[in-house]
Amino acid sequence: MKQFVVLLALAAGLFTIACQPTKVETSGNPLFDDPLTADPCVLVYNDTLYLFTGSDETVPGEEGFVMKKWYVFSTPDMVNWTNHGVKLTVEDFDWASHAAFAGHCVENHGKFWWYVPMVVKDTTTIVHEGFGIGVAVADHPLGPYKDASGKPIICDTTTNSVVLNIDPAVYVDDDGQVYMYWGSWNEGRYVKLNDNMIETDGPVETVEATNFFEAPWIHKKGDTYYLSYAAHYPSTTEYSTSKSVTGPWEYQGVINDTIQNSPTNHQAIVTFKGQDYLFYHNAGSSTGGPFRRSVCVDKLEYDANGKIMEVVRTKTGVAEVK
Ligand code: FUB
């Protein structure tokens, strides 16, 4: 009888162990409580995902954006992240005075080009909000970066630019032609960039995309170009598709619904080690209000017809990838 009880206890123990869920490592949203991060941009290089972010700073008495610098983070597996620290600041650009808004880093010709908007120093070129878009360059995603053009590529006095020249998104097409998209307050623009990455090559064109508010991002899946963007304000993330990088754009729908505690959400979309991801920000790490934000990541999924399904935002984030 005693033997039977021992066997029963052993079996129960084994059953309990077998039923224990396997521990799954997840990233957790927001990704970092400290520092505060906003406006994600991502690229994959040498099996590593690099995340470029802006920096929301808490300054007593200041409720709006306080942004002076940009960070770089990296991960080999979406769970273990390294904060590489500040890699670019307003002071790195002689022509800029303040407001380090959303940037975009892209690889081309073996170098890394980090396009960033800031308010310019030269008040004679300020007609609207005073933002210019410049670019810094480095040999590696982690830098060191230095101003590549010595002046803004786009500013208020550029023909057909917009009132708020922010949120650059640069895309190198399959034939090598480079395009820069940007815009805010319902006005989107794009321009061809010269092969040297620091000059425009042709006129500034208007982007016609339903509900466009700001934060354009281009990616391609199969032979379809996806233009995602912040729509309305407070913003959802929505998207349109085309068979050409310059449109015409056919409206498709919502990727990410409005975020309760943040009127902005600024997306970045990437495929890494076979998984698709949506990076965005919320204001979940902070008691500082809607202008103190933190970057998050969740899974992005396409249906069988290539339509992006609305993202399910989670607190747990995404699982480790090998
Ligand atoms: O972070 C400042 C601005 O807020 C960005 O440039 C926009 O995309 C919005 O996120």
174 lies in a domain?
Answer: yes
Among the ranges given (59-63, 116-120, 125-129), the one the predictor scored with the smallest mean pLDDT: 59-63
Pick the residue whose CA is nearest to atom 1 on ligand 1.
101
Q: What are phi and psi of 86, to 5 degrees?
A: -75, 125
CA–centroid distance, 101 to ligand 1, in Å, is 6
CA–centroid distance, 129 to ligand 1, in Å, is 14
CA–centroid distance, 225 to ligand 1, in Å, is 23
102 lines ligand 1 (CB under 6 A): yes
Average pLDDT over residues 126-140: 98
Q: What is the mean pLDDT of the chain?
A: 93
Query: Residues of the chain with pLDDT > 70: what percent?
Result: 93
Residue 322 has a pLDDT of 87
298-309 pLDDT tens trace: 999 999 999 999
Q: Is the pLDDT of residue 49 over 60?
A: yes
Determine contact, residues 148/135, Cβ cutoff 8 Å: yes
Q: Is the pLDDT of residue 15 over 70?
A: no
Residue 105 has a pLDDT of 99
166 lines ligand 1 (CB under 6 A): yes
Task: Give the CATH number of the domain where residue 265 resides.
Answer: 2.115.10.20
How many residues can be counted in the chain?
Answer: 322
Choose one of 57, 118, 264 to mutate for the ligand 1 pocket test, by most ligand atoms within 8 angstroms of C-beta. 264
- For residue 102, the ligand 1 atom closest to its alpha carbon is 6
Radius of gyration of the chain (CA): 22
Pick the residue whose CA is nearest to atom 2 on ligand 1.
101
Q: How confident is the model at residue 256 (pLDDT cuts 50, 70, 90)?
A: very high
264 lines ligand 1 (CB under 6 A): yes
Structure tokens that stand for 85 in this block: 């620290």
Per the structure, the count of domains in the chain is: 1
Q: DSSP code of 14? A: H
Q: Is the pLDDT of residue 216 over 50?
A: yes
Choose one of 37, 166, 256, 294 to mutate for the ligand 1 pocket test, by most ligand atoms within 8 angstroms of C-beta. 166
Q: Is the pLDDT of residue 18 over 90?
A: no
38 lines ligand 1 (CB under 6 A): yes
- For residue 166, the ligand 1 atom closest to its alpha carbon is 6
Residue 273 has a pLDDT of 98
64-99 pLDDT tens trace: 999 999 999 999 999 999 999 999 999 999 999 999
Nearest to 143 by CA among 77, 229, 70: 70
More confident residue, 162 or 286: 162
Burial class (CB within 10 angstroms; exposed 0-12, middle 13-18, buried 19+) of 139 = exposed
Burial class (CB within 10 angstroms; exposed 0-12, middle 13-18, buried 19+) of 149 = middle
92 lines ligand 1 (CB under 6 A): no
| DSSP annotation string for 257-322 | --BTTBS----EEEEETTEEEEEEEESTT-SS-TTS-EEEEEE--B-TTSPBPPP---SS--B---
CA–centroid distance, 102 to ligand 1, in Å, is 5
Q: Tell me the CA distances in angstroms from 27 to 138, 252, 282, one per residue in order.
A: 28, 29, 15
How far is the C-alpha of 277 from the C-alpha of 312, rounded, in Å? 11
Its domain, for residue 174, covers 32-299
Q: How confident is the model at residue 21 (pLDDT cuts 50, 70, 90)?
A: very low
Q: Is the pLDDT of residue 20 over 60?
A: no
**What is the separation, in whole angstroms, between the first and last Cα of the chain?**
49
| DSSP annotation string for 82-148 | EEEEEEEEGGG-TTEEE-----EEEEETTEEEEEEEEEES-GGG-SSS-EEEEEEEESSTT---EES
11 lies in a domain?
Answer: no
Q: Is the pLDDT of residue 230 over 80?
A: yes
245 lies in a domain?
Answer: yes
Among the ranges given (4-8, 34-38, 56-60, 118-122), the one the predictor scored with the smallest mean pLDDT: 4-8
Determine contact, residues 114/104, Cβ cutoff 8 Å: yes
Residue 285 has a pLDDT of 79
Query: Residues of the chain with pLDDT > 90: what percent?
Result: 87
CA–centroid distance, 18 to ligand 1, in Å, is 48
80 lies in a domain?
Answer: yes
167 lines ligand 1 (CB under 6 A): yes
Residue 287 has a pLDDT of 74
Q: How confident is the model at residue 23 (pLDDT cuts 50, 70, 90)?
A: low
Residue 4 has a pLDDT of 47
Q: How many CB atoms lie within 10 A of CB 17?
A: 8
- For residue 265, the ligand 1 atom closest to its alpha carbon is 10
- For residue 281, the ligand 1 atom closest to its alpha carbon is 10
Q: Is the pLDDT of residue 24 over 90?
A: no
Residue 13 has a pLDDT of 45
134 lies in a domain?
Answer: yes
In the block, tokens 């057909």 appear at 160
CA–centroid distance, 247 to ligand 1, in Å, is 24
